[in-house]
Structure 1
Amino acid sequence: MIGRTEEPAAVSGSGMDRVVAPRGLALRWKIAAGVAAIAALAGLFLAYAPRGGSQTVEASRLTVSTVSRGTFDDYIPLRARVTPLLTVYIDAVEGGRVEEMLVEDGATVEKGQPIAVLSNAELQLSTLARQTEVEQQINNMRSQELALSQTQLANERSVLEAELALEKARRQYERERPLAERGFVPAKTFADTRDEYEYQKRRLAVLKRGQATDARLQGGQLAQLQQAAQSMRSGLDIARTNLEALRLRAPVSGTLSGFAIQIGQSLQRGERIGQIDSPGRNKLIAGVDEFYLGRVQLGQKAAIEYGGKRYEAKISKISPQVQNGQFEVDLIFTGAEPADIQRGQTLQAKLTLGDPAPARLIPNGAFYSETGGAWVFVVSPDGRSAVKRKVRLGRRNADYVEVLEGLDPGERVITSPYTGFADKDRLDLRSQ
């Protein structure tokens, strides 16, 4: 008999279960810690994140200057170019072929000295033909003048003859009149004598009127002929002058430059062939920033340092046309000038605009071109930040700018360029 195996009874784990005590912080403490961490991160973000009106800048890339008290020298530096005081250009009055060169470029010439000879066959022939024509016309006018003079003499002769005939008729009339009254001269004879006397008086009056009319007309004709002759002579003189112009001469004394023509070269009428610069006399031409256009006046003094010496000059001409932000002025030396300066050389000059005066000063810098002197960045006492401040700046020179309002001595200002943060109100300065 097969026996029956009994299954074992199921084991219960209820005897092994036990209550485990919770470990760590309570849930409310975890929430509080999370909120605190988030708040700390937000604070750090707000502290270091850039604001809309501020920017963090490396302090090492900025130039910080201190406002001070001092004497402001009102001048502007100029870079002046040496130019001859007087330059006279030489042009070919008449065109022609260069036949002879009498001087070389760079030579010192005297006024009226020949420098070159040209040839122009057409001009020479036309001048000779003009001369012949003028001489013929002058001869014709002289013939007319002679004819008028002869007519005048004839009129005068006629008047003289009429005056003589009148005088004879008067004497005959006065002799016969008393005799005729007493009957010793026939009435017919006396009547003829009286008529002759009256005729001679009227004849003389007519001749004198005719002589006056002829003299007036002849005087006008002679004056016109003389004026025409003078005009022809003037035209002939001009033609001869043009012919003489083929022999080029120096118009003034000085140094010849730019004279580069060659023998055989053909020159056109009016073509420029060189120039003559005044010897030993120079002037300076300098460009001035258009900012000073209203402050630069004729006669203002300038100082030039050259070769360890100081030379005085003054403004003799102002060209108000502004090009590339500058206008030009001419400076002439008021005393001796450097003996060894050359044309085209550049000299440093200081143009005085006003008298020195006490003022608050900040060093001149590139900031001015970006702000126009209307505002600056002022650095805080601890040097960690800079704030934009409105100011009023006045005159400036190469070294300093005059402070009129908005800054006190001892304050520090950023004077380097404001490129990249000119639109900000505050700068946070960070040190490396």
Structure 2
Amino acid sequence: MIQDTSSMDRPVETARSSRLLLYIGIAAGALLILGVILFPAIRRWMRAETSVDATGLRIATVTRGDLQRDLSVQGRVIASLHPTLFSSGPGIVSLRLKAGAQAKRGDVLATIDSKELQTSLQQARANLASIRAELERQKIVGRQTQLRSQQQVDLLSLRNEAARRALDRNQRMFGEGLSNKADLEAAQDNVRTSQMELDQAKKELDLSRETLSFDVQTREQAFLRQSSVTDDLQKRVDELTIRAPFDGMVAAVMVQDSDAVAANQPIVTIVNLSSLELEIALPEEYGGDTVIGTPATISFNGREYQGKVTAISPEVANSQVAAMVDFVEQPIGLKQNQRLTTRLVFESKKNVLKVARGSFVDAGGGRIAYVVDGQIATRRAITLGASSANEVEVLDGLQAGERIIASDTTAFGDARTVLLR
């Protein structure tokens, strides 16, 4: 007889069940905590239209301060005086100084033996002498002609006076009845005839004077014309001896000794290194902002030197405008063709909102920026103003302390929000 079932009972393993429940609770708590932690990131990821790697992006902070609208360009050091001397005629060149040699004003740099110019000069001198002789001969002929004409006028004047005296005698004699009317009329005709001949001779004398004066003037003009040709040829012959126009250094020699050169061919370049300036090339869009007198800051050997724009080209070449910058105080040690960084200052603004300049300006046309808030960058419309080499003015759309993506945002497309990974 079995009194009860106690002999069949087995103890329940309560400890094992409790541990299992504990593990499940810990796992659920961990998942809950992880969800709480990851929820903002998941929420941002769900809100973002695209995502990019943030390690390659440049982030800039909007600040308030002074802004200088400027432009930084590379300038080339050149001599203010750097003429290239040319051959005035064809011939054989003989060099007297080599490149790099010092020259004083008036020193002979090269000579050119030009047979063609020498022959032309001799012919011009001969023509000039011939024209001068012809001019003098014409003056002598003119004086002779005038003497003969004047003599004819004097003779006719005497004849006219004699005819008038004869007329007076005939009139008295006719009045006294000692002469007939025919003699009186003949005397009157003689006076009229002699007067006509005298008047005609005087006119011919005046006309001959004008003619002779015209002939002399014509030959004088021919003489002056030939004299000018001769002087020009003499100047060209003198210029066959190429001399230094000032104290300086021979920078370049374009020919070899004993070379045959053509007229107007460059021979040597001489520079005055005591007066140097910078040649710069401005982007076309800055050509209107740059005027003579625009201040410039030139960097050389770790120091900054002041300068100003002294000349601006009136034309655009290859989308650039050439300009010259002169030093206020020329630094020591400058060399020809040395490259220096030059900053032109167009405008200074005080206490403006500004941000570092970057590729975002070109990518968005200066109207779009992505404002960074944590790991999300939000597209925002902005308005930019004056710009410098490193900064750009913010007129609207951003506040001081906000951060934006200064890098190129073209890859973002039209995304309104971007996740920064």
TM class by shorter-chain length? 0.7 to 0.9
2:76 matched to which residue of 1? Answer: 81
Distance 1:94 1:165, change over 3 A: same
Q: CA deviation at 1:386?
A: 1.3
Q: How is 1:325-364 mapped onto 2 (pairs within 5 angstroms)? A: 326-333=320-327, 335-364=328-357
Q: Could you tell me which of 142, 145, 155 is aligned with 1:161?
A: 155
TM-aligned CA deviation for residue 206 of structure 1: 1.8
Q: Which residue of 2 aligns with 1:391?
A: 382
Which aligned pairs between 1:402-413 and structure 2 lie closer than 5 A?
A: 402-413=393-404
Pairwise CA RMSD: 3.3
**1:258 is paired with a residue of what secondary structure?**
strand
* Residue 313 of structure 1, aligned match among 308, 320, 342: 308
Contact residue 105 and residue 260 of structure 1 kept, 8 A? no
Mark the structure with the bigger radius of gyration.
1
8 Å contact kept, 1:304–1:313 = no
Taking a change above 3 Å as real, the CA distance of residues 187 and 78 of structure 1, as seen in their structure-2 partners, is: same
The one-letter amino acid paired with 2:367 is A
User: Is 1:181 the counterpart of 2:181 in the alignment?
Assistant: no
One-letter amino acid of the structure 2 residue matched with residue 76 of structure 1: L
Q: Deviations for 1:106-130, whole angstroms, at most 9, x for unmatched residues? A: 4455665532221122432343234
SS at match of 1:413: strand
Aligned-pair CA distance for 1:263? 2.8
Q: Is the partner of 1:388 in helix, strand or coil?
A: strand
Instruction: Give the one of 52, 55, 73 matched to 2:50.
Output: 55
Which sits farther off after the overlay, 171-180 or 199-208? 171-180
Q: Are the counterparts in 2 of residues 112 and 250 from structure 1 also a CA contact under 8 Å?
A: yes
Instruction: Indicate whether 1:64 and 2:74 are aligned.
Output: no
Rounded Cα–Cα distance in structure 2 between residues aligned with 1:403 and 1:115? 60
The 10-residue stretch of structure 1 (406-415 or 192-201) with the greater mean CA deviation from structure 2:
192-201
Matches within 5 A, 1:144-155: 144-155=138-149
Give matches, 1:80-119, under 5 Å: 80-98=75-93, 100-109=94-103, 113-119=107-113
1:415 is matched with 406
* 2:222 maps to 1:228: yes
Size of the aligned set, in residue pairs, is 383
Between 358-367 and 238-247, the greater mean CA deviation after superposition: 238-247
Alpha-carbon separation, structure 1, partners of 2:104 and 2:185: 89
Is the 1:68–1:410 Cα contact (8 Å) retained in structure 2? yes
Q: How many angstroms apart in 2 are the aligned matches of 1:361 and 1:403?
A: 5
Q: Take 2:194 and 2:231, find their aligned partners in 1: how far apart are those partners?
A: 53
Deviation at 1:271, TM superposition (A): 1.0
Q: 1:347 to 1:189 in 2, by over 3 A?
A: same
Distance across 1 between alignment mates of 2:56 and 2:128? 86
**Residue type matched to 1:426 in 2?**
T
Q: Residue type of the partner of 1:275?
A: T
Match of 2:14 in 1: none
Q: Distance in 1 between matches of 2:131 and 2:284?
A: 63
Work out whether residues 301 and 315 of structure 1, in 8 Å CA contact, stay in contact via their aligned partners in 2: no
From the superposition, tell whether residues 52 and 259 of structure 1 become closer, same or farther in structure 2 (CA, over 3 Å): farther
Please name the residue that 2:368 is paired with: 375
TM-score (norm 2): 0.79
User: How far has the Cα of 1:207 moved from its partner?
Assistant: 0.9
How far the C-alpha of 1:415 sits from its partner, in A, is 1.7
**3-state SS of paired residue (2:118):** helix
Letter matched to residue 410 of structure 1 = G
Q: In the alignment, is residue 129 of structure 1 matched against residue 123 of structure 2?
A: yes
Map of 2:259 onto structure 1: 265
SS at match of 1:355: strand
Q: Name the SS of the counterpart of 2:99 in structure 1.
A: coil
**Aligned partners of 1:175, 1:87: CA distance in 2, in Å?**
93
Aligned CA distance change for structure 1 residues 58 and 190 (closer, same or farther; 3 Å): closer
Q: Is the 8 A contact 2:378 2:416 kept in 1?
A: yes
Q: Distance in 2 between matches of 1:68 and 1:225?
A: 84
C-alpha deviation, 1:406, in angstroms:
1.0
Cα distance in 2 for partners of 1:111, 1:153 equals 58
> In 1, Cα distance between the equivalents of 2:45 and 2:376?
13
Offset of 1:273 from its aligned partner? 1.3
Bigger helix share: 2
Report the TM-score when normalising by structure 1: 0.77
In structure 2, how many angstroms separate the alpha carbons of the residues matched to 1:178 and 1:350? 112
